[in-house]
Amino acid sequence: MGRTPDAVALTFEGESMTYRELDEAANRLANLLVECGAGPGQVVALLLSRSAEAVVAIVAVLKSGAAYLPIDPALPGARVEFMVADAGPRVAVTTAELAGRLAGFDLTVVDVGDPAVAGWPSSAPAAPGPSDLAHIIYTSGTTGVPKGVAVSQHNVAQLFDGLDLGFALSAGQVWTQFHSYAFDFSVWEIWGALLHGGRLVVVPEAVSRSAEEFHALLIREGVTVLTQTPSAAAVVSAEGLDGTALVVGAEPCPPELVDRWAPGRVMVNVYGPTETTMWVSHSTPLTP
């Protein structure tokens, strides 16, 4: 964040934050979280919809040294109860609208939109170490009891070390943050942009459910790196997106998708379970 403080880091619903603004907002929230007991070895639950505030909260939790536990607001109450009991967070960050879903839990609940957050210092708390946990993401539970997968800050950073996908990660790129924070694709989307000086476009949830509106957003924002599951990419038009790199994963990639998307751009297929920090292998650039 210190390399390009005045570059735009984050865009959501027509509003933007620079890297400096993101850093200072995250520092204020991080200092509040530390006061509430967050730190290395601790877990902070995040019950937030996709938004700029959610990205600020993720950065803030990592700055505090704690791990974030993403809880999708769409989850049923029983699943939320299981995750909170299993992961044992001490603090939760949410909004006033969602705070009621955390009633009854032994948690200090922080409203990310509380104006009082702005009164905390904008200087960074003590830096966390690479072995500190970054996040705990729960598997879907389709094969049994959901399992929380803990990933260190080092493992998140090494996801990008020596990476050769056929395109370089660099400042000036525009990434979408399309996926739920509870899905590990979001880790790649967020840090692919923010660790390399790019701009992260947070896709509103309503837009993510409309292929036409999502395509319009991709054109309007000039997105250059797009990450999708094959089934999601299958319903999005490639028209007007020449040169936009496409990363697909989490599902089998059918040949007809490659035939439609690979011409005129870098398209790669990645594979790996959550336990491996998103992937263990990736293809060379695909060709029809």
Q: Render pLDDT for 248-285 as a digit per residue (tens, 0 to 9).
A: 988 888 889 899 998 988 888 887 666 666 666 666 66
pLDDT for res 179: 93
Both 91 and 188 in one domain: the answer is: no
Q: Would you say residue 94 lies in a domain?
A: yes
Both 181 and 218 in one domain: the answer is: yes
Which of 151, 169, 196 lies at the terminal end of a domain, its last residue?
Answer: 151
Range of the domain at 166: 159-282
Q: Retrieve residue 127's tokens.
A: 């830096």
Domain count within the chain: 2
Q: Retrieve residue 51's tokens.
A: 């938004």
Which of 127, 151, 175 lies at the terminal end of a domain, its last residue?
Answer: 151
pLDDT for res 273: 62
Per-residue pLDDT, averaged over 17-25, amounts to: 97
Q: Which of 92-96, 160-164, 276-280 has the lowest mean pLDDT?
A: 276-280
- Residue 8 bridge partners (DSSP): 18
CB atoms within 10 A of CB 73: 17
pLDDT for 103 beyond 80: yes
Which of 151, 178, 193 lies at the terminal end of a domain, its last residue?
Answer: 151
The contacts found for 6-9 with CB under 8 angstroms, 24 or more apart, are 7/171, 7/197, 7/199, 8/199, 9/193, 9/194, 9/199, 9/200
107 closest CA partner among 87, 121, 124? 87
Q: What is the pTM of this model?
A: 0.92
Question: Which has more confidence, 3 or 246?
Answer: 246
